[in-house]
Copies of this chain bind each other. A is one copy, B any other.
Amino acid sequence: MRKLAVIGLGHVGATVAYTLVTKGLVDELVLIDKNEDKVIAEQYDLLDMLARIDTSTKIKIQDYASLKDADVIITTFGNIRALSDGGNRFGEFDHNVAQVKEVGQKIKESGFNGVIVNVTNPCDVIATLLVRYTGLPHNQVVGTGTFLDTARMQRAVGQALGEDPKNVTGYVLGEHGESQFTAWSTVRVKDHPMAEVAAEKQLDLPDLDNQARRGGWLVFHGKKFTSYAIATCAVKLAQAVLADAHLACPASVFVEKYGCYVGYPAVIGANGVEAVNHVPLTKEEEDKLTSSANFIAEKVASVK
């Protein structure tokens, strides 16, 4: 049966929990948060749904020991109030770096041997630290990373062209943060290379790239957090693990070449990261990716 835990019941963690319950995607759900009142409140808000939906999910709280046989943990702890409007994801750095050590050690102590899907920002750094503190191999920790930014790029390009975002493929790569970039050489619209489409439709690619990068802040500006798109990405990665789906997508994965976690094409299945997928990039894109990865690696190195 499917067992999943969410650590951190802020807006994203709670939305992840709600999504899993309302769609009946897991059989047992463990909710953990430092704020006991909050986790109880979320548990009861979910329990109060169960008479109104057709599926059933068991909901446990605050039980690190029960992580032992969980298939997936989604880490969504953080301190959203440390972020300011239009800022960057490193606003949460100090808080989350302190937290990840504690969370990682508790996960390790539980004997957990499944896959962690990390959402906590800065996503790539925290994913790296989760490996450090849990002792899990790299393949068993994946971050949502640019899986979300890529969705925003697909949305932005789709809007510019009057196309459904699913008709836009390709990758935003690098840090889930300011140094990310759209690898336009990988982008295709209904199987036409973006270079051709952009020329024909006179698209402003730097602006579209920026819309992907800044999309989160547009949402943050109006609601003071983001939740639905990021929770959707986290749940989709978790589902890929549960069903061993071999989902090909960008995600924050450990790439040997860069020696750190970074948003990169990968394949997600029961073992977590089943493979990285080395799609061809231009020299300029390679340089941007190296630069973005170096930024992440420096931040990781700064954590003793």
Residues of B within 8 A of A219 (CB): 41, 44-45, 48
Given the interface contacts A15-B18, A48-B215, does A221 sit within 8 Å of B155 by beta carbon?
no
How far, in Å, is A211 (CB) from chain B's closest CB? 10
**B-facing residues in A39-65 (Cβ within 8 Å):** 39-42, 44-58
- A190 near B248 (CB under 8 angstroms)? yes
Q: How far is the CA of A257 from the CA of B2 in the complex (A)?
A: 36
Q: How far is the CB of A238 from chain B (nearest CB, A)?
A: 12
> How far does the Cβ of A303 sit from chain B's closest Cβ, in whole Å?
30
Q: Judge whether A292 is part of the interface by a CB distance below 8 angstroms.
A: no
Instruction: Choose one: B49, B55, B147; the contact of A239 (CB below 8 Å).
Output: B55
Cβ–Cβ contact A218 & B40, under 8 A: yes
Given contact pairs A23-B22, A48-B151, A270-B1, A41 touches B220 in the complex (Cβ within 8 A): yes
Q: Is A95 an interface residue (CB 8 A)?
A: no
Q: A57-B243, A191-B169 are known contacts. Are A49 and B164 too (CB-CB below 8 A)? A: no
Chain A 224-242, CB-CB to B under 8 Å as 1, else 0, gives 0011110011001001101
Supposing A45-B228, A190-B265 touch, asked if A155 and B51 sit within 8 A by C-beta, the answer is yes
A18 and chain B: residue at smallest CB distance: B228
- A110 an interface residue at 8 Å Cβ cutoff? no
Copies of the polypeptide in the assembly: 4
Residue in B18, B47, B56 whose CB lies within 8 Å of A245: B56
Total interface residues in chain A, CB < 8 Å: 83
A71's partner among B1, B55, B148 (CB-CB below 8 A) is: B1
- Knowing A27-B244, A55-B239, A233-B52, say if A37 contacts B164 (CB, 8 Å): no
A45 to B190, CA, bound (A): 24
Which parts of A170-219 form the interface with B (CB within 8 Å)? 170, 186, 190-192, 215, 218-219
- A56 touching B151, Cβ below 8 Å: no
Contacts of A50 in B (CB 8 A): 151, 155, 164-166
